[in-house]
Chain A
Amino acid sequence: MKRLLTGLALLALAGGGIGWLLTAPGTVEASRLDGVTGEAARGEAVFTAAGCASCHHAPDSKDKQLLSGGQAFASDFGTFYAPNISPSTEAGIGGWSLQDFANAVLKGTSPRGQHYYPAFPYGSYSKMEIQDVADLWAYMQTLPPDATPSKAHDVGFPFNIRRSLGGWKLLFFSDDYVMAASDAAGGERGRYLVEALAHCGECHTPRNPLGGLDTSRWLAGAPNPSGQGMIPALTPDKLTWGAEDVAYYLASGFTPDFDSVGGHMAAVVDNFAKLPAEDRAAVAAYVKALPAPD
């Protein structure tokens, strides 16, 4: 009997240990960063395409480059507050290394080895090219530092246990693309912009009850996480615009009938308007090639 109990206890320990290992925050292999040097000038376009400022700029600031954080993002799991990612060493990420930054962006892991909540779209950024990560890091260090402390997220039990996010990552986190590589014109670039940098799927794709993206309904429209209204579908069953209309919308904020963009999408359009026309055309080509959801 005693032996049986010991055996069971050992098994439980082993099971717990495996679970603990499986939910451990991942990091980027240091070798991937060997010989990679970031260039701030190239990083600006990555920063714009990735829309970092849209969420991290101060809520009431006109200066979209001041990344002091503080914007609130409501969700089914609680309210998340974008943290300070300015180059301040105390309040922001000024004290980080490139490795820390790559772990955050590609793996959703903090320098202290904790999981980030997926309100930070690392599920999309995980597909970012390592050179783009380095360029982005170089660029962000040129932005103004701000000493505003990050605000704690307002998230209840059990979601406030960061380790549980390891389970979430096991289930839903992947650095695979959703759409197969397409040989359509602009396809590769369009896919990289839509699925990785601009992280369109984070809002335009519905989520399951655990907050994982339902990729079988990729970009098929979703309830607005703020609880009000819908984020529109981009799939051909719903979106009637032509590729030129999509590209023009991303440049000007005007729909084909000259209504104008609103809500968080206005910030997205601000970003796309700064990118080259070929990038907008590539996104439009990707969107128009989407399959209708099942």
Chain B
Amino acid sequence: MKRSIALIALLSTLGGTAAIAQDTNAHLKARQGQFRILALNLGVLGGMAKGAIEYDAAVAQAAADSVAGVAMVHQATLFPEGTDAMSLDGTRADPGIWDNFDDFNAKWAALGEAAMKAKETVGSGKDAIGPALGMLGGTCKGCHDTYRTPE
């Protein structure tokens, strides 16, 4: 009897750990997924800026809209405590994020502002893409400079 209680206790502990691991895995996937969506859409705009893809106002608009959509995702939900690069494998989230969460949020909000401006301009012509990308890229750098750990 005693042994089976111990076994149940052990199993439930293991089960608990697995559940937590799975939980944080979902957070990492969601985080990295949103950055992928950003990268793919920035890639569309970048391709047009470089001349690798022909400019198309509707396609550019869709890309900027998508970036703006992602920028509206509330980050606190995706970045719970304990999901930093020191605590987990498979993430480059700097522990400093949780020391300065307001600043982290402000940097994400800066992406949102740049995206709103991009939404207004990228449909107007090829020449608007470069400046819009410059603003968007600046906000990526602004956050990665501080809150993404090196590879």
Contact = CB atoms under 8 A, between A and B. Distances in A.
Interface in A261-290: 261-264, 266-267, 269-270
Contacts of B46: 248, 252, 254, 258
Contact of A266 (B39, B40, B133, B141): B141
Interface string A236-269: 0000000010001000111001111111101101
A266 B145 contact: yes
B139 to A, nearest CB: 9
B149 A229 contact: yes
B149 to A, nearest CB: 6
Contact of B43 (A257, A263, A267): A257
A261 B149 contact: no
Contacts of B39: 257-259
A269 B137 CA distance: 11
B126 interface: no
B149 A260 contact: no
A143 B67 CA distance: 38
A224 interface: yes
Contacts of A257: 39, 43
Size range of the chain B interface in the assembly = 20 to 34
A263 B42 contact: no
B144 A262 contact: yes
Closest 8 CB pairs of A and B: A262-B144, A229-B150, A260-B140, A266-B145, A258-B39, A258-B43, A262-B148, A266-B141
15 contacts: A228-B150, A229-B149, A248-B50, A254-B42, A254-B137, A258-B39, A258-B40, A258-B43, A259-B35, A260-B137, A261-B141, A262-B148, A263-B149, A266-B142, A266-B144
Contact of B141 (A230, A232, A244, A269): A269
Given A258-B43, A259-B39, A253 B148 contact: no
B15 interface: no
B43 A252 contact: no
Given A229-B149, A232-B151, A260-B140, 14 more contacts: A226-B150, A229-B151, A230-B151, A244-B50, A248-B46, A248-B50, A254-B137, A258-B38, A258-B43, A261-B144, A262-B148, A264-B145, A266-B145, A267-B145
A224 B150 contact: yes
Contact of B144 (A224, A228, A260): A260
A230 B148 CA distance: 13
A244 B52 CA distance: 12
Contact of B149 (A228, A252, A259): A228
A245 to B, nearest CB: 9
A267 B35 CA distance: 21
